[in-house]
Structure 1
């Protein structure tokens, strides 16, 4: 059953994991009314997702209980020593692609001043140097660039890219007594970012509709508005599962494949925009969730755990939607 659920998610968003619709939409965003957002379809899918997640929390161990899966886990466990280096040099590579495309952090933020280019190259060089002090200096330069873009684009807009703050945090705490907190923070930041950009599709559905029509994105017979709601839910669920620490390796593999597929539609812009996300997902594939103590383990019985997951998902979904709608 769970395998079918995962497969369903893949089929529903084969080419719709363009997490940042702002990169490709050519229409002005129009905020949907809250009455239309909270449609019977939205409420039904929200309840269905909550139920499925509650069930998934009890059967997820069966997905990794096969001999082949255990061998893969063992092989990945031995690669954990390289996770920090992967993040360090992967970040440098992502920044390099951005410099060559004349952007900072995302395709929508174009480099406007020479000093920004200088700081970008400084961050790249510092990250490439194999010393933890240099890495921390590179992270500081990256933070300065992030603050600069935030002052121009606004804090609300930059919440889409909150995972960069998590990356900066991981780079800063390396080789310190807080190093163990780095990757949990990265999971949290990436998961919350995915949840946040998913809400954008509900609040500003006209941008997604325009992309579907302009790029001929397959909807498998669903109307564009229905497909947008379903795709956003799948993206939100992926982010939520990363936050709560369920199926991180499987999710990372699925989302990585989907991001690769989107390059067939959106080309080089997609590669530049999601290069950093690919690095993060690759780290998630290696790391798994062994560092993480899922919150559901606070509850002893299976029923209590399922009720917790059900209510927690509804609460998180409602909070994200209300906050986004309030400030959008």
Structure 2
């Protein structure tokens, strides 16, 4: 049986009106249903003050939030429809259209990914004064030059493992200045990119065929992990909402933030699921990340460049992925079970590790001049740490 890619290659004149309509309908639904979360994809730590060690909101608050469950229901309904389409002839048509449209990119996938990685590290070098990402600032100039060296190393298979070692090394070095829990925000993506570079450096290796799967898992876990800030620290997003009220599209902030968190988590989860869900999730994320560049500028573009580049390859990838369940009903039932498992593992790790690393009973929370307790405060010298309130003079 010929693959979707082979079938599509026979028709270079174009996929035809029916095929484009078949592709556009579910894709349009995906973008419209999830697009309301667009602005929340700017990484809040790059634009707003925060305190990583502050006590997070209890997870029970999320589990009793109406808007959280409404978002879950909407996403599960969309996934169920997508699974049903995937098991029909329409799904085959959509898959063929996606294969046809993305074939030029997929045939040069490794060249594309190495260019994205190299371009990202050149951009980080140009920004200067940061480890790997905009919010991990450092005064050490050699860090920027090391990142330029990493960019140069990705263009030869012989030196790609050295580039991978450089990425992991920078993450480890950043532990001198930043909390381990803070750096977990970037661990999955860093491991995914480093893993890709190692596997792609040896085309004859038995793990070579899994190089893009490693990259995809890194991006998916990174998105799911970062989404939990919207539930644990919704207050971190308040300054952005107050400064740019148009971001919520008129929705109340306490409605918008949890639903944006659900969208980010579930689309990250979608990258690990079946081909059509994976590809539509990737396309929707590309639209969302691209739209976020306008209100948040080039720092947002530079910071998300690795994720955005990888999303293009995830959308282009014609290979099977996710659970292979042939019957329709079990395939639909597997979605909520998989999503539940992902939430238990990722959210359990987030809240559990945070409690293990920080002592909420002894930590003194920051206090505003009016006496109000804060969950975040700007501090250029120690942006991730707790800022103590100044001592009051004795009477």
Structure 1's consecutive aligned runs of 4 or more residues displaced over 4 angstroms after TM superposition are 1-5, 27-30, 61-67
Aligned equivalents of 2:87 and 2:310: distance in 1?
23
Structure of larger gyration radius: 2
Aligned equivalents of 1:218 and 1:113: distance in 2?
35
Aligned equivalents of 2:143 and 2:249: distance in 1?
44
Q: Confirm or deny that 1:97 pairs with 2:114.
A: no
Q: Confirm or deny that 1:163 pairs with 2:164.
A: no
**Displacement of 1:4:** 6.3
**Partners of 1:9 and 1:234 within 8 A in 2:** no
* Structure 1 residues 271 and 45: CA distance shift in structure 2, 3 A: closer
Match of 2:136 in 1: 109
* Structure 1 residues 323 and 71: CA distance shift in structure 2, 3 A: closer
Q: Confirm or deny that 1:33 pairs with 2:58.
A: yes
Q: Confirm or deny that 1:133 pairs with 2:144.
A: no
Q: Confirm or deny that 1:230 pairs with 2:259.
A: yes
TM-score by length of structure 1 reads: 0.88
Matches within 5 A, 1:97-246: 97-102=123-128, 103-128=130-155, 131-161=156-186, 162-174=188-200, 175=202, 176-246=205-275
**Unaligned runs of at least 5 residues, structure 1:** none
Aligned equivalents of 1:285 and 1:51: distance in 2?
21
Residue-pair matches, total: 320
| Cα shift readout 1:269-312 (whole Å, capped 9, x = no counterpart) | 11221122221112223324x1x3421x2x44322222222222
Aligned equivalents of 1:235 and 1:191: distance in 2?
10
| Cα shift readout 1:155-197 (whole Å, capped 9, x = no counterpart) | 3222322112111111111223311111111111111111111
* Structure 1 residues 136 and 3: CA distance shift in structure 2, 3 A: closer
| Cα shift readout 1:195-226 (whole Å, capped 9, x = no counterpart) | 11111111110012221112224323321011
Question: Pick from 240, 243, 260: which aligns with 2:290?
Answer: 260
* Structure 1 residues 313 and 71: CA distance shift in structure 2, 3 A: closer
**Partners of 2:279 and 2:316 within 8 A in 1:** yes
**SS of the counterpart of 1:260?**
helix
**Displacement of 1:260:** 1.7
**Displacement of 1:5:** 4.2
**Displacement of 1:113:** 1.8
**Partners of 2:83 and 2:328 within 8 A in 1:** no
| Cα shift readout 1:201-256 (whole Å, capped 9, x = no counterpart) | 11110012221112224323321011001111111111001012443333222212
Question: Which stretch of structure 1 is more off in the superposition, 3-12 or 223-232?
Answer: 3-12
Q: What CA RMSD, in Å, does the superposition of the two structures yield over aligned residues?
A: 2.4
**Displacement of 1:154:** 3.5
Match of 1:282 in 2: 312
**Partners of 1:99 and 1:117 within 8 A in 2:** yes
**Partners of 1:104 and 1:110 within 8 A in 2:** yes
Match of 2:392 in 1: none
TM-score by length of structure 2 reads: 0.74
**Displacement of 1:110:** 1.9
